[in-house]
Amino acid sequence: LSSSLLPPLPSFLLFHPPTWEEVSGYDENLNTIRTYQVCNVFEPSQNNWLLTTYVDRRAAQRVYVEIRFTVRDCASIPSVLGSCKETFNLYYLESDHSLSEGRGVEYWTTAPFLKVDTIAADESFSQVDFGGRLMKVNTEVRSFGPLSRGRGFHLAFQDLGACMSLLAVRVFYKKCPSVVQNFAFFPETLTGAESTSLVIARGSCIASAEELDVPIKLYCNGDGEWMVPIGSCSCKAGYEPDKANVCQACPQGTFKSFQGAGLCQQCPPNSLSTAEAATLCGCRNGYYRGDVDKPEDTCVPSAPRNLVSVVNETSVVLEWSPPRDTGHRGDLVYNVLCRRCHSSERRTCQSCEDSVAFSPGRRGLRGDHVEISKLRAHTAYTFDVQAINGVSNKSPYPAQQLSINITTNQAAPSLVPIMHQVSSTSRSFSLSWPPPEQPNGIILDYEIRFYDKLSAGVNSSVVQSGGPGAVLEGLRPGTGYLVQVRARTVAGYGAFSKEMLFHTLTDGKREEDRRGVGGKKNGFGRVCEVILLLLGYRRRQLKESVYGDKLQQYTTGGEAPTVTFPTMSDGHSSPGVKIYIDPFTYEDPNEAVHEFAKEIDPNCVKIEEVLGAGEFGEVYKGRLKLVGKKEFPVAIKTLKAGYSERQRRDFLSEASIMGQFDQPNIIRLEGVVTKSRPTMIITEFMENGALDSFLRRNDGTFPVIQLVGMLRGIASGMRYLAEMSYVHRDLAARNILVNSNLVCKVSDFGLSRYLEEDTSDPTYTSSLGGKIPVRWTAPEAIAYRKFTSASDVWSYGIVTWEVMSYGERPYWDMSNQDVINAIEQDFRLPAPMDCPLVLHQLMLDCWQKDRNARPKFPDLVSMLDKMIRNPWSRTTPSPHALLDRGAPDLSSVSSVEDWLSALKMTQYRDSFVGSGINSLSLITQLTTEDLQRLGVSLAGHQKKILTSVQSMRDHIDDQSPTESL
C-alpha cells in the first residue's frame, strides 16, 4: 500500500460569521498545534461551514480524508440545548480551479457540495482539560469518488451544533508503486474510482528479458496493491536470472542457449565462448556440431588413439583405440585413408590405387581395426584413421585423424588373372595372359604348368616363359589340357592361377582356320594381336566418359587439322654423324665394352657414399683421379655379387651404349672397371640426382622459363640420340639426371634397345613384356612394340608433363589398363597447373596417335628455343635477334673451322676438333660448361661464342615451321 498526502493545506477558509475559530492547542503528546474549533451549543439552528483551500487531485479518482478531531460529550455540558450534536458532516465540491476567489457566502450556501458522510466521534470527552490530562482524539478516514468533473476539489466540514476541534486533516490518494515482477516492469499506477476497482497496468520486459506470454499485465486494486499477474517475461538466451530480478549476462566460458529460467552452463567439451552472453559455445578448430545437434552437445569426435600396425608382406593390419572424445552421438565410425609415398627425404604421397583391398572396408568402420591388402611390395604408405560421426561432413575442418607410416615387405607377385588362347594346332597351342595385377617387382619370368585333363594331374609338365605368353608344344591332338601360370620376381614365385582348359585341334583340321587374327607365323606377333583384341574389347565395354573427370579428350588424326613437322634431318643428320651400334650385335660382350668404354684402374676410384639402388646393384658417389687430371666427383654403378653371366652382360651393355655418346645432355661415361671385382660403370656425377624426385623436392619453385630450359636440354639430348638412330624406350623423368647447374642429361640406357624391331630373338623380345613403362610409352609401342624415335617423342611429351607438374605421376592412380584404354579413346593428360598453353599443345603434338604426325626432336628443340627467346609474346622480336646485328655474317659458314675463323677464335680449333665438335649441329648445342671443358675460359670469348651459337640456333629455327606456337 502506498498513499500520498495531498499538499499541506495552507489554511482553511472560514465562513462568515466566523463560527469556526482557529486557536492554538495541544495534541495528545502535548505538542502545540493549531486547531479549528466550534462550540455553539448554547444557540439553536447552527450551520457552520469550514472550507479547505483548493486541492489538486492529480488524476486520483478516489480521495481519502483522514480526520483527527475531538468532540465534547453533550451530556457533560451543563444546561446545554437539546440541539447539541456530537457529529459533523464532510462534503466535497469538484472544480477545475479554486472557487474561493471573490465568492461570498451566498455562493457557498448554494454551491453543489456532495456529502461524503456524517462523522461521529468514537470517543468524546466530558471535560476540556488541556492541563495534561487525558484527551480523547478520534481518527476517522473516509473516501469519496469517482472524481472526474474537475482537476481538484474543495473539502467542507459542516457543524450543526457540536462542540469540537479539528486537529488535523490528511487528504491522500492510493496508488500501486512501480514494480519489477516476473522480469517485467510495471509503472506506478493510481487506484481506481471505487475501492473495489481493479486498474490494469501493462508491463514491459526488463533489459535482456523477453516476453514469454503476452499480454503482460498486473492489476492495481483499490488499496494500492498489485494483484492477479498475467503473462510474464524471462531472461533471453545468453542471460540468466539472478536473485534481484535482473537478467545477468553469462560469463565467458559458459552459455545459455534458450530463453527462460535456466542458468548459464559450462561450455561442452571441444567448444568455447570468448565473450559474455554467449548463447552457444563455438566448436574449437577441428570440431563441429551439426545443425540438428543441441548446443549442449559435444562437438565431433577427437582423433582415435594408439594406432598400431602389423605388416605382413604386402598386407597390414591397423588397430586403434576409440577417441578420448567420442562426440555425444552414437554414430561414431572410422574412415581409413591410404596414401602411397615416395620414401625420399621429403615424403611425397599420392592416394592409393583402387585395387588396394580393405577388410571389412575403408569407410564407416564400426570396429577398431582394418586389414589392408594388395599393397605394393617394398613401398612406403601412410594411413590416416579418422574418427567421424554424423556431423563430421559438415565440418569446415578436416576430421580428426591419427596417421601411421609403414613400409611393406618383399612379396611374391599376385595371380595372373586370366589366360587367352591365341592359336592352336593339333600338337600345340599358344597362350597369352596379362601380367599379375600386383607384380610386386619386376617380373623375371613365368612358369606354366599343364596336364592332360584325363590324367587328373598325374603327369603334369612345367615350362618357363620370359614374357606373358607361351607356346605349349608336343601335345596330343584333340585333347583338353588344364593350364596354370605363375609369375616370378626376385621375391620368388607367386601362386598359380586358376586352372583353365584349352584344347588342341583334332588331326586333319586346317590350322589356318584356327589361327588368331592376321595369322602371323611369329608367336610374338600373335600375342600382340591378341593384346590388341583385348584392348579393343575393353574399349567397347567402357563408356567414353569414364576418364572424363581426369583426362581430356582430344581428336587427332583426320578429324582435326594437325600441324605437320617436316623433318630437320637435312640440317642435322649430316652424313658425318655416327650411327649407334647395338652392343648385342657383338658376339663377345666384353669386346663391345672395350670398344666403347675406357677401362679404369680401380685404384683411381674412391667410393664415398651410397646414392641409391640400381637394377644390378648399389649406385655410389665417389671420386675419380685420373693420371694427369684433377680428381673429380663421379657416380659409380656396381654389379652386385652373385650375378649371372647374362646379368653382367646386361649391366655392361649400358656402358657400351653410353660410351658411344658424347653430348652435353647425355650422361657422360668416364669408364668401366671390368678386370676386378666389383664390376663398375663410372659416369659423371649429377649433384641433383633423378629429375622426378628433384622436381618433387622443389615443388613449384622454378619460373616456367627455367623448366622450359630444362626441357630444352632433354630435347637436345634426345635429338642427339635420334640422330644416332638410337631409341631410348624408357624416356621418363626418373631417367633424367640433374647436375648442380640444373643441366638435365638423359641416362639409363639399360632398357634401351636398338631402333629396328628385334624379332630375331623371341625369348628376349617377350622378356620385355613385363617391363614396358606403360604410362610413358606410345600406344603403338605397347601394342606391337613399334619403338621408334617417334615413340620416344611420345615419352618426351610425358616427361614434359612430369616436369610442368613437378614430378606428378602421369595419369595419377589410374591402372595401366585404364591408361591404355583412355589413350585409345583419344583421352590425353590435361595441362598441369600454371602450364602455358603452348607447352600443353607441344605435349598434345607429341601424343598424336599417328606417329608420323608427331614433331621430331629437332622440331621440339627449336620450339623450346623459340619459347625461351620469346617467352610471353609471339609478336615481339627476340632480344637475341637484336644482338645478332653486331654478329659476324654466318651465311657462308659451312664448317666448324669456318665458323671459328669468322669469330676470330681459331686458337680453339684444335680443342674443338679434338673433342669431336666437328659439325655445326654440335656447335648449336654448346653450353658454357662445354666451353670450359674445351678450354675457352675467358669470359669475353665465351660470350662471343655463345652469342654466335644462339644466333645459329635462331637461324635454324626461323626456317622451321613453328606457327602452331
Report residue 919 as a C-alpha cell.
Answer: 659439325
CB-wise, 525 or 689, nearer to ligand AMP? 689
Report residue 837 as a C-alpha cell.
Answer: 598453353
- The contact mask relative to ligand AMP for 406-445 (x = CB under 6 A, - = no) is ----------------------------------------
CB neighbours of residue 522 within 10 Å: 11
Q: Measured from the CB of residue 761, what is the shortest distance to ligand AMP in angstroms?
A: 24
CB-wise, 739 or 919, nearer to ligand AMP? 739
Confirm if 499 and 486 have CB atoms less than 8 A apart. no
Q: Measured from the CB of residue 667, what is the shortest distance to ligand AMP in angstroms?
A: 6
The interface region with ligand AMP, picked from 160-168, 352-360, 606-614, 717-725 by CB under 6 A, is: 606-614
Confirm or deny that 613 is annotated as ligand binding.
Answer: yes
Contacts of 726 (CB under 8 A, 6+ apart): 580, 657, 661, 752, 754, 755
Q: Shortest CA distance to 850 belongs to which of 555, 413, 581?
A: 555
Is 915 in a helix, a strand, or coil? Answer: coil
Report residue 97 as a C-alpha cell.
Answer: 480551479
Q: Does 738 bind ligand AMP (CB under 6 A)?
A: no
CB-wise, 746 or 949, nearer to ligand AMP? 746
Active site annotation includes 549:
no
Confirm or deny that 361 is annotated as ligand binding.
Answer: no
Q: Measured from the CB of residue 610, what is the shortest distance to ligand AMP in angstroms?
A: 9
| Identity at 750, one-letter amino acid code | G
The interface region with ligand AMP, picked from 343-351, 608-616, 644-652, 929-937 by CB under 6 A, is: 608-616
CB-wise, 441 or 689, nearer to ligand AMP? 689
Confirm or deny that 617 is annotated as ligand binding.
Answer: yes
Q: Considering only residues 434, 612, 678, 832, which one is a binding residue for ligand AMP as defined by CB under 6 A?
A: 612
Q: Measured from the CB of residue 734, what is the shortest distance to ligand AMP in angstroms?
A: 6
CB-wise, 522 or 741, nearer to ligand AMP? 741
Confirm if 899 and 926 have CB atoms less than 8 A apart. no
CB-wise, 692 or 954, nearer to ligand AMP? 692
Rounded to 5°, the CA angle 958-866-939 comes to 100
Cα–Cα distance for residue pair 628/67, rounded to 1 Å: 140
Cα–Cα distance for residue pair 288/41, rounded to 1 Å: 97
CB-wise, 748 or 865, nearer to ligand AMP? 748
CB-wise, 620 or 787, nearer to ligand AMP? 620
CB neighbours of residue 295 within 10 Å: 18
Q: Measured from the CB of residue 581, what is the shortest distance to ligand AMP in angstroms?
A: 22
- The contact mask relative to ligand AMP for 316-345 (x = CB under 6 A, - = no) is ------------------------------
- The contact mask relative to ligand AMP for 667-696 (x = CB under 6 A, - = no) is x---------------x-xx--xx------
Catalytic residue of the set 159, 730, 818, 826: 730
Confirm or deny that 614 is annotated as ligand binding.
Answer: yes
CB-wise, 571 or 612, nearer to ligand AMP? 612
Q: Measured from the CB of residue 933, what is the shortest distance to ligand AMP in angstroms?
A: 17
At how many degrees (to 10) do helices 704-723 and 789-804 cross? 170
Confirm if 233 and 203 have CB atoms less than 8 A apart. yes
Is 253 in a helix, a strand, or coil? Answer: coil
Contacts of 104 (CB under 8 A, 6+ apart): none
Q: Measured from the CB of residue 575, what is the shortest distance to ligand AMP in angstroms?
A: 32
Q: Measured from the CB of residue 771, what is the shortest distance to ligand AMP in angstroms?
A: 14
The interface region with ligand AMP, picked from 242-250, 362-370, 609-617, 793-801 by CB under 6 A, is: 609-617
DSSP, residue by residue, 127-172: S---SSS----EEEEEEE----SSSEEEEEEEESSBEEEEEEEEEE
- The contact mask relative to ligand AMP for 564-603 (x = CB under 6 A, - = no) is ----------------------------------------
Is 764 in a helix, a strand, or coil? Answer: helix
Confirm or deny that 783 is annotated as ligand binding.
Answer: no
Confirm if 408 and 376 have CB atoms less than 8 A apart. yes
Report residue 860 as a C-alpha cell.
Answer: 621440339
Confirm or deny that 319 is annotated as ligand binding.
Answer: no
Is 841 in a helix, a strand, or coil? Answer: helix
CB-wise, 690 or 708, nearer to ligand AMP? 690
Report residue 683 as a C-alpha cell.
Answer: 659416369
Report residue 550 as a C-alpha cell.
Answer: 581426369
Rounded to 5°, the CA angle 407-411-412 comes to 160
Only one residue has cell 600382340, namely 528
Q: Measured from the CB of residue 440, what is the shortest distance to ligand AMP in angstroms?
A: 19
Confirm or deny that 618 is annotated as ligand binding.
Answer: yes
What DSSP state is assigned to residue 550?
A: T
Is 712 in a helix, a strand, or coil? Answer: helix
Rounded to 5°, the CA angle 961-962-963 comes to 100
Q: Considering only residues 531, 715, 737, 846, which one is a binding residue for ligand AMP as defined by CB under 6 A?
A: 737
Q: Considering only residues 206, 387, 611, 658, which one is a binding residue for ligand AMP as defined by CB under 6 A?
A: 611
Q: Does 619 bind ligand AMP (CB under 6 A)?
A: yes
- Could you tell me where the beta strands, DSSP code E, fall in 418-569? 420-424, 429-432, 445-452, 461-465, 469-472, 480-489, 492-493, 500-503, 552-553
Interface with ligand AMP: number of residues (CB under 6 A): 14
- The contact mask relative to ligand AMP for 628-647 (x = CB under 6 A, - = no) is -------x------------
The alpha-helical segments, DSSP class H, found in 560-644 are 569-572, 589-596
Confirm or deny that 272 is annotated as ligand binding.
Answer: no
Q: Does 717 bind ligand AMP (CB under 6 A)?
A: no
Binding residues for ATP: 611-619, 637
Annotated binding site: 611-619, 637
The catalytic residues are 730
Which residues here bind ligand AMP, judged by CB under 6 A? 611-612, 614-615, 619, 635, 667, 683, 685-686, 689-690, 737, 748
